[in-house]
A and B are shown apart, each in its own frame.
Chain A
Amino acid sequence: MSDGREERKEQEERRKWDEEKKKREDDRERDWERDGDRERRDSRAVESLDAAVRAESGRRTRRSFLIAAAAVAGGYSFYRWIDRSPGDQLMPHPLREMLNFNAKVARGVFDERGLAPTYPVSKSMELRTNGNYGLKMDLVPESYRLQLVGVENAKRYPQYVDDVTAWEYKYAVKKDPGPVEHDTKVAPKDEAKVDPNSDAGAGEGPMMEGGPASTMVAGSGEKSETKMPPAFEAAFAALKKTQGNKRPRGQEEAGMSDNTLDPGTPGLLLTMGDVTALPHHELVTEFKCIEGWSQVVHWGGYRLADLIAKYPPARRADGSLPKYVYMETPDGDYYCGYSLLACMHPQSLLTTEMAGRPLTQWHGAPMRLHMPIKYGYKQLKRIGLIAYTDDQPDDYWTKLGYDWYAGL
């Protein structure tokens, strides 16, 4: 029967199909096993290969961090070397050297010949007062003379004297204290504290007895309470006696200048008339303080270059001009050094008027310096002495850690 044949055929096919299915499943199982094996084997291989990559990374990282640690140690030692270097006028030696190097670069690049921009008078304002060294008392105008030392063939001038230091400046207790604007940490509204820098209404303010007057240096500004040992006190009294009770020079924090004249120094004693005989100039420039502020100011006066031309410096043995100029206040409390070149700059002005009015005492009457190629701390008020010199002169703020050059 066809039925039986068909049935057999069907059975046969089913068996075949089952067999095939089984085979296929076996295959699949084998495949699975095989894949698993491969994966396991691969993952072990991959893991070890990855570990090798990580090890290589670790090696490189360790080496780099070792070098980095050495660099950090080197860098820190470099900083420590600078910071712990002995001071050269209150500035670590390497930093001082760099300031001098920078000055050399600036002189080489700019030659100090550039002119400061000038402004219309309408842009100018009242210059604030800042620092009163050498100005604690009013100078009696009639007693003013400008000492000029190192002038060529000085004896030929009628203003020649054998000893310029013998000239006595006369002082008076301040009549007008002026705006008390010296920078202090004490706000005026704080009545409990006395402004240590104030010289309002006093000839000898607290600053005369010690203590800093400016934020440009550190200090509490309070009067020292420590008593001197008796031996010191006796020696100090003896010194005062030999000085004929004259006020000692260099009474501010930086002390006495190395360039203060020895008694018996010959030179010229110029009157204000000698200075005002020079051509008059006006200038509106920006005054810049190293503290960070600046103001446009209207100046009037006489070119320092003209004064130098009229009273030229004595030449050295080889015929060259001396390199430096030194200036100080009549009491020797404040002093500055300049290169002769800076003084010959056409905008270096012996200022007698500010904002169109005669200079006030607190701004350095009768005559102060304006020098737009230098910071304010080089623009000496109440010039008592101008001396030509061969060696780099002492400078008040340089002694307290500032740059000697201070060129803008």
Chain B
Amino acid sequence: MPENPMNETGSVDPAAPDEPITEPLVDGVDAAPESLSIAQKEVAADAVSAVPISLHEAEPEPASSSIPATVTKVDAEEPAAASIRLEKKHPLAIRWMHWVNFPVLFTMIWSGLLIYWNDSDNAYQHPHAVYRFGVGSLTLVRLFPPWFWKAINAPYRVTEGLGYHFFFMWIFAINGILYVTYLLISGEWRVLVPERRSFVDAIRVTLVDLHILKGLPPQGKYNGAQRIAYTAVVLMGLGSLVTGLSIYKPTQAHWLTTLLGGYEMARWEHFWLTMGFCGFFVVHVVQVILAGWNNFRSMVSGYEIVPAKARLEEERSAR
């Protein structure tokens, strides 16, 4: 993590003598602020253990006479610092690749639908076997119903779909390969790949997001659920490329098609991966809206405004 000079001088240490100085005067009891401060900080993770310690060090001087000295000392040493600061959150390369991927993936899904339509056409004679909800011979619903095709203006645009799909597949693939390469070289993969505790964290994060529990687990740049989701969506992209290739060249790359369970199975996988992208998109957009402007802006400008006193993750973990 990049160290911020403002943080080093202006956040944790000067805050410590500041708080307990006024407290004993108001309360008149020595023990009260101590227990109070512990109660407050109990929520915080081990990462902030330095803060309560410095609080205790400041405790044993509740006497009135020493106060002016302490204050002047603080005054002399520490000029006023901003309560907020900018923190770099997303590197430029990641922002570009993220935003390039958005219209490209949209184009892939849209052109894919134009292609899929062709197999949904004469459903009365040959209901398609691949794009449906169902198990074995039981089919609940076939995808998609005629009104949907009409609504998205898909009918009779197969060549357009094929043309765009086989054009933008290159951009999708190149962008994805660049992204993964960047993650590996920059070391950013470390904040993205799930850790062992991410799976337990993800459940807790989900429950907190659903307002069932309170208290988010401590996290780095991304929480457990994010780590899993963002890694999964990269793997899904890879899956789309691999299943796509096996559909595109099922004879020349038949070993791959066979590995994926055959041509129809590969189509099924390709389709449901796409549905997965759509699901990811919905959750992602809702979460971004809930997270607010500061978070969204950081994916555009790269910077997030964070409280100066705590590092980003501390602030998050205390939420």
Contacts and interface: CB of A to CB of B under 8 A. Distances in A.
A264 to B, nearest CB: 36
A367 to B, nearest CB: 22
8 contacts: A38-B75, A46-B83, A50-B83, A56-B86, A184-B122, A188-B125, A403-B166, A407-B249
Given A215-B121, A291-B118, A61 B254 contact: no
A106 B249 CA distance: 8
Interface in B90-112: 99, 103, 107
A54 B305 contact: yes
Contacts of A71: 99
B253 to A, nearest CB: 7
B121 A52 contact: no
Interface in B167-193: 167, 170
Interface in A35-76: 35, 38, 41-42, 45-46, 49-50, 52-54, 56-57, 60-61, 63-65, 68, 71, 75
Contacts of A94: 167
A384 interface: no
Nearest to B68: A31
Nearest to A374: B251
A49 B250 contact: no
B163 A95 contact: yes
From B126, B170, B252, name the one whose CB has the most chain A CB atoms within 10 angstroms: B252
Interface stretch (A109-117, A139-147, A203-211, A356-364): A109-117
Contacts of A254: none
Contacts of A218: 155-157
Given A38-B75, A110-B252, A294-B263, A75 B103 contact: yes
Interface stretch (B34-42, B209-217, B283-291, B296-304): B296-304
Given A98-B163, A292-B118, A401-B159, A187 B124 contact: yes
B300 A65 contact: yes
B294 to A, nearest CB: 9
A88 to B, nearest CB: 10
Q: Sorted from nearest, which 3 A-B pairs have the closest CB atoms?
A: A292-B119, A401-B159, A95-B163
A235 to B, nearest CB: 32
User: Which of B79, B115, B249 is packed against the most chain A CB atoms within 10 Å?
Assistant: B249
B128 interface: yes
A27 interface: yes
A27 B64 contact: yes
A45 B81 CA distance: 8
B143 interface: no
Given A35-B71, A57-B86, A188-B124, A288 B250 contact: yes
A58 to B, nearest CB: 9
Interface string B16-32: 00000010010000000
B85 interface: yes
Contacts of B130: 292
Interface residues of A, number: 73
B122 to A, nearest CB: 4
B254 A116 contact: yes
A34 B130 CA distance: 77
Given A71-B99, A291-B119, A291-B121, A57 B166 contact: no
Contact of B301 (A60, A217, A286): A60
Contacts of A110: 249, 252-253
Nearest to B78: A42
Contacts of B125: 128, 181, 183, 188
Contacts of B61: none
Interface in A144-201: 181, 183-185, 187-189
A79 B106 CA distance: 12
A290 to B, nearest CB: 8
A99 B251 contact: no
Contact of A46 (B82, B128, B155, B170): B82
A293 interface: yes
Nearest to A51: B82
A80 to B, nearest CB: 13
B207 interface: no
Given A95-B163, A106-B252, A116-B254, A292 B115 contact: yes
B162 interface: yes
Contacts of A28: 25, 64
B293 to A, nearest CB: 10
A278 interface: no
Nearest to B263: A294
Contact of B162 (A79, A181, A403): A403
Contacts of B158: 215-216, 290-291
Contact of B297 (A46, A61, A98, A372): A61
Given A112-B252, A185-B121, A188-B124, 17 more contacts: A34-B68, A41-B80, A46-B81, A50-B83, A68-B300, A82-B167, A90-B159, A95-B167, A109-B252, A110-B253, A128-B125, A185-B122, A187-B124, A188-B125, A286-B250, A290-B162, A373-B252
Interface string A11-42: 00000000000001001100100110010011
B297 to A, nearest CB: 6
A116 B251 contact: yes
B267 interface: yes
Contact of B251 (A102, A292, A372): A372
A128 B126 contact: yes
B311 to A, nearest CB: 16
Contacts of A27: 64, 68
Given A57-B305, A60-B303, A187-B124, A114 B86 contact: no
A123 to B, nearest CB: 11
B195 interface: no
Contacts of A286: 250, 263
B258 interface: yes
Interface in A257-286: 286
A57 B25 contact: no
A56 to B, nearest CB: 6
A381 interface: no
